[in-house]
Amino acid sequence: MAKTDKSENKAAARELAFGGVWQYAPSIEGTDHFTIQARHELFVGGEWVKPKTGEYLPTINPATESVLSEVAMAGAKDVDRAVAAAQQAFVGWRRLPAEQRARYVFRIARILLERAREFACLETLDNGKPIKETRDVDVPLAAQHFFHHAGWADKLDLLFPGQHPEPLGVIGQVIPWNFPLLMAAWKLAPALAAGNTVVLKPAESSPLTALRLAEVFQQAELPPGVVNIVTGDGRTGAALVRHPGLAKVAFTGSTEVGKEIQRAVAGRSVELTLELGGKAAHLVFEDAALDQAVEGVVRGIFFNQGHVCCAGSRLIVQESVHDLFVDKLRRRMQRIRVGDPMDKNTDMGAIHSAAQLARIVELVQSGVDEGAELFQPRCELPAKGFWFAPTMFTGVGQTHRICREEIFGPVLSVSTFRTPEEAVEKANNTSYGLSAGIWTDKGARILWLASRMKAGVVWNNTFNRFDAASPFGGFKESGFGREGGRQGMRAYVRLKGALSPG
């Protein structure tokens, strides 16, 4: 559909190229600016270094398809150099008194919050997600993870009483494109607080906020080599996870790549945690507060364009309220504002990439072909960039691809249940097990259901709520290991029995 002149003017006013350097004005009226440099090198040993490959990859704004910058493509030799820098830094970092490590992590959190606006804008430009979300969710939550874990750094003995916690060594961390800054924070904060050093590999299509974090580390005077950032594609990730200098690999991404990484570390004395895909069930009972449940379901699937591992993509609603609930959902979906991610009123931004859009289109077509009923509200989508309207399928069968496969887009599939037993059976009828949601007025039913749901996180009368103190992670093909809270710290320490003569 045609892009409006108004949105074209806005986009043009906001992105101005000066001699190859992107300058960005966060609001047309605003006075503060920041720049995006034309080329980013690798961050190794506290310095920016050119890749030995001599290659660079472009990163684009998915809402406009314009190139924002190019980033270094790290090869095996670059990964070697980064691991060596992390090994060297580990010697001093692990010996640092824990309260001093805590101070560094705390300082990172504080600087991140001071630069919150810049990080929110950069994330929105590089990823396509609405500024409302980067401003209110991604950046504050990322800072919360650093604050939270700074608090644990000098209290590890209390976390693991009677055992002596030690850092593991150099951690290789590989993260996806859907929450670039937040996933970096989830991984870095516990690793650093526990005394490990890191080589981080951001996703190739959204590397800019992780690279800007390097500036925060420099500002916080984090010792060189404690965090190293190597950009590149899957080949860089593969070189990192295979590196013999690592003590642990922490991966967030697709189940397919997670399995590949499992094979790559098999037989080596390397610890592994995997945060993978999901296909969450969202159960709505007839006694639920239906209007609140509508809001929860909308947030559950359309937040971040549905590019969320724990998205509530399968709505399973009690048959007696199906028609009423679907009608309410249709009316609510008509009010979702899709468009310019930098507009603070936008609810749904751009699909992250052409490849992701193609996958969504293919799976939606399969839904139509397999006989489910499609609903999309009328909305004007910009002509340039990658866009997809909020979508709902009703009459979805358990064998339909849209019910079984992770779409990772703004597509909800709706089916029904009659009894709580049937609800549990349908909810668990998936190879994934990351999250689930329950909407009912009855506390006893929540407990009954939650104990039967095969999901690492079960939300009750809410959805997509995150907290650094709460462990997050999956069962089955959604991976293993937890991030956040005490369980998240456990993934970054080795425990020793420490007995003295009594």
**Residues binding ligand NAD (CB under 6 A):** 174-178, 201, 203-204, 233-234, 237-238, 241, 252-254, 257, 260-261, 275-278, 309, 406, 408, 434, 474, 478-479
Nearer to ligand NAD, 279 or 322 (CB): 279
Catalytic one of 133, 204, 275, 483: 275
Nearer to ligand NAD, 7 or 273 (CB): 273
What is the β-pairing status of strands 39-40 and 411-417? unpaired
Cα–chain-centroid distance for residue 234?
17
Nearer to ligand NAD, 122 or 310 (CB): 310
Asked whether the beta carbons of 398 and 361 are under 8 A apart, the reply is no
User: What are residue 56's DSSP bridge partners?
Assistant: 72
Asked whether the beta carbons of 5 and 13 are under 8 A apart, the reply is no
- Cβ contacts of 500 within 8 Å, gap of 6 or more: none
Distance spanning both ends of the chain, measured CA to CA = 78
Cα–chain-centroid distance for residue 50?
28
Closest separation in Å from C-beta 469 to ligand NAD: 16
Closest separation in Å from C-beta 151 to ligand NAD: 22
Closest separation in Å from C-beta 327 to ligand NAD: 30
Separation of alpha carbons 22 and 344, rounded Å: 21
From the list 405, 415, 335, the residue with the least C-alpha distance to 364 is: 405
Nearer to ligand NAD, 7 or 413 (CB): 413
Nearer to ligand NAD, 123 or 406 (CB): 406
Closest separation in Å from C-beta 433 to ligand NAD: 10
Q: How many CB atoms lie within 10 A of CB 499?
A: 8
Structure tokens at 127: 């990823």
SS (H, E, C) 288-352: CCHHHHHHHHHHHHHHHHHCCCCCCCEEEEEHHHHHHHHHHHHHHHCCCCECCCCCCCCCECCCC
Closest separation in Å from C-beta 183 to ligand NAD: 6
Catalytic one of 41, 118, 123, 309: 309
Helix (H) or strand (E) holding 110: helix 98-114
For residue 406, indicate whether it is catalytic.
no
Closest separation in Å from C-beta 365 to ligand NAD: 20
Structure tokens at 123: 């994330």
Asked whether the beta carbons of 407 and 353 are under 8 A apart, the reply is no
Separation of alpha carbons 418 and 110, rounded Å: 50
User: What torsion, rounded to 10 degrees, do the Cα atoms 181, 184, 190, 196 define?
Assistant: -140
- The C-alpha angle 301, 467, 404, rounded to 5 degrees, equals 30
CA-atom Rg of the chain in angstroms: 23
Nearer to ligand NAD, 173 or 416 (CB): 173
Nearer to ligand NAD, 176 or 485 (CB): 176
Closest separation in Å from C-beta 435 to ligand NAD: 9
Closest separation in Å from C-beta 380 to ligand NAD: 28
Q: What 3-state DSSP class applies to 396?
A: coil
For residue 310, indicate whether it is catalytic.
no
Cα–chain-centroid distance for residue 174?
12
Catalytic positions, please? Answer: 275, 309
